[in-house]
Amino acid sequence: MAAVIVKLALAFLLMALCVVIHAFTILLTLRQVRGRLDAADAFSWTTLGLMVHIASNLTFAHLVEIVLWGYLYMLRGVFPDAETAHYFSAVTYTTVGYGDLVPPVEWRVLAAVEGLTGILMCGWSAGFFFATVGRLLRVTER
């Protein structure tokens, strides 16, 4: 039972770190694009560039979060090498879940929390992206 609690504590620590990374990325992205959002023209290269910039920042945050989970799997010996650990992390975080890799029974709770974290972070990114692009499109309609 104590081992499960330790694994859950690790999982929640990583989940909290993902929230911090995501919040930082969103705040940084807002700072980077805020002035440019109001000055954008209707479907110009600038508008498309802003969309790519926002998507790139969010994707980078997800990749950093996936790598952190992968390193935990690797450092704890859940998978034999970094490539396998990070691949498993990517398919778990994104909830693709191919099923070609399965962690040992005692580590499955960690994978479940990673999947829940990935759902939350992807949903947060989608909401932010659509809100920002929606604002951009409203500005360009003027």
| Predicted pLDDT of residue 66 | 98
Per-residue pLDDT of the chain (142 residues; tens, 9 = 90+): 788 899 999 999 999 999 999 999 999 999 988 877 666 666 677 778 888 999 999 999 999 999 999 999 999 999 999 999 999 999 999 999 999 999 999 999 999 999 999 999 999 999 999 998 887 777 666 5
pTM of the full predicted structure? 0.90
Which domains, and CATH codes, for the chain? 2-140 (1.10.287.70)
Secondary structure in 3-state letters for the chain = CHHHHHHHHHHHHHHHHHHHHHHHHHHHHHHHHHHHHHHCCCCCHHHHHHHHHHHHHHHHHHHHHHHHHHHHHHHCCCCCCHHHHHHHHHHHHCCCCCCCCCCCHHHHHHHHHHHHHHHHHHHHHHHHHHHHHHHHHHHHCC
